[in-house]
Amino acid sequence: MTTTAKPRQSFVPVPAESHFPLENLPYGVFSTMADPAPRVGVAIGEMILDLAEIARAGLLPGLPEGVFAAAAINPFVALGRPVWSATRKRLQELLAADCPTLRDDAALRARALVAQGEARMHRPVEVMGFTDFYSSREHATNVGMMFRDKNNPLLPNWLHIPIGYNGRASTVVASATPVRRPLGQLKPPADEMPHLGPSARLDIELEMAVIVGRDTALGDVLTVAEADAAIFGYALLNDWSARDIQQWEYVPLGPFQSKAFATSIGDWVVTAEALEPFRVEGPVQHPAPLAHLRQSGPMNYDIQLAVDLAPEGTDALTVCRTSFRYMYWSSAQQLVHHASSGCTMRVGDVLGSGTVSGPTRAERGSLLEITWGGSEPIEFPNGLERRFLEDGDTVTITGWCEGEGYRVGFGSLTGTILPAQMPEAWKS
């Protein structure tokens, strides 16, 4: 759905197609040449509002000292939902066109408003734990058709629980961080024995990152409503995948090194409150989930997503356009399932939504699906083809919600592939 409310105006110029109007104000962590200390800001138009500076000026009363003078948003997120909401309201007031407090204070504006083009962005969250899910029915069906049974592509448990695995928090990296092609054990079907080498089937996974906003104690569980309220916000996510390494290693315990080498997270965390006008119903769940996973009312978001692929020296080509609304299992259901064993959840945990795919080829969120395992290559206007990622390729993901006369967006998430590094001693 889209909201029909008239867009609010800021004294900071906001271009018509900007992802960052007053209705958004996503949180990120940045630094500048003049002040290299990372701190928290919100995006407005083409600028960043330095929240550490605003707090020092006394314009955010009631918050702990230094909460925004931090290299991650975690200290602020830990303050809880009432503080998130009150702070968002206060920032909207300060940035509004009719509020003179910041608008008319030239000295403070000069200190507190930083051009995005002059800022260095950092990973916004100290990632306490990373869990990746597998919650798009279209994606799971496509993969099942390619690798298991065309007539029964979903495993029996898929329609009953959100399937996931524990990933590596240590390799969740900021946007624009180069990604090194991973080494791994590979075993082509015709080979008798595996060998060590660079992945030849390096892939993307178009996902959303869910930022957990509350701690739970060991043994505690969450209801769907509690889980929904515990989500601070969302960011873009690319969970890079080495399909050939994965194919050899995933039996019997699932992905390991094929997914551990890198996961890229976007610069900006859009709050759940900013996304509230864009809630939509998800797909009908049949059979009905067990009682603890049942939800009522809209629990998905209509976030438009796009993936561009640019070989080195070649113009980018959009290879996917899809929507987060397609996800079969909602983010709240994923969090409920994660905590249902009594597993401890912490502020700063990141849940990967799983690959976001839709019902058509143009809406498939991985190269594995787009090229159908490499059999249907992507063709570029200059004659280049891509089945999987090559060294030098750059992937850019964007996402936004479309309102009436404005967008609430996530900016972009990029990563460029670097060649693998193989020590001489490992070569045989």
Q: What is the mean pLDDT of residues 264-286?
A: 98
Instruction: Give me the CATH code for the 27-121 domain, please.
Output: 2.30.30.230
Q: Maximum CA pair distance of the chain?
A: 74
Q: What is the mean pLDDT of residues 290-297?
A: 96
Local confidence band at 380 (pLDDT 50, 70, 90 cut-offs): very high
130-426 architecture in CATH?
Alpha-Beta Complex (3.90)
From the candidates 19, 139, 337, 338, give the one annotated as an active-site residue.
139
Catalytic (active site) residue 195 = no
Percent of residues, the chain, with pLDDT higher than 70:
99
Cα gap 81→64, rounded to integer Å:
15
Residue 159, sorted as left (phi over 0), alpha (psi -120 to 50) or beta, turns out to be alpha
Ordered by start, the domain boundaries in the chain are 27-121, 130-426
What pLDDT digit, counting tens, does each position of 7-35 carry? 779 999 999 999 999 999 999 999 999 99
Cα gap 166→338, rounded to integer Å:
10
Q: Which amino acid is at 259?
A: K
Q: What is the mean pLDDT of residues 348-374?
A: 98
Cα gap 316→309, rounded to integer Å:
5
Chain centroid to CA 156: 28
Q: What is the mean pLDDT of residues 197-220?
A: 98
Q: Which residues pair with 414 in a beta bridge?
A: 396
Q: Is the confidence at residue 2, as pLDDT, over 90?
A: no
DSSP string, 389-420: --TT-EEEEEEEEE-SS-EEEEEEEEEEEEPP
